[in-house]
């Protein structure tokens, strides 16, 4: 899998988690633990995306 395809997949998963978080927040009796876990996973994806984009920029500079 190319770097670009991997980044696209991570961004797709990040957006899907955002939609799931928004849906969970609208439910009555929201499960705080589930919401916390979804947000944690979304942040991990965001960090991974940022790391890979940083590597991509470094590779093009050198």
- pLDDT score of 56: 73
Q: What's the whole-model pTM score? A: 0.83
- What contacts 34, CB < 8 A, 6 or more positions away? 24
CB 21 within 8 A of CB 43: no
Average pLDDT per block of 10 residues along the chain, 62 residues long: 92 98 93 96 97 79 60
- pLDDT score of 20: 96
DSSP symbol at 27: S
Q: Could you state, in order of their start, the residue ranges of all structural domains in the chain?
A: 3-61
């Amino acid at each position: 899998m190319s770097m670009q395809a991997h980044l696209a997949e991570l961004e797709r998963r990040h957006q899907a988690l955002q939609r799931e978080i928004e849906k969970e927040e609208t439910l009555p009796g929201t499960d705080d633990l589930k919401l916390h876990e979804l947000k944690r996973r979304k942040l991990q994806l965001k960090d991974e995306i940022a790391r890979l984009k940083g590597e991509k920029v470094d590779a093009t500079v050198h």
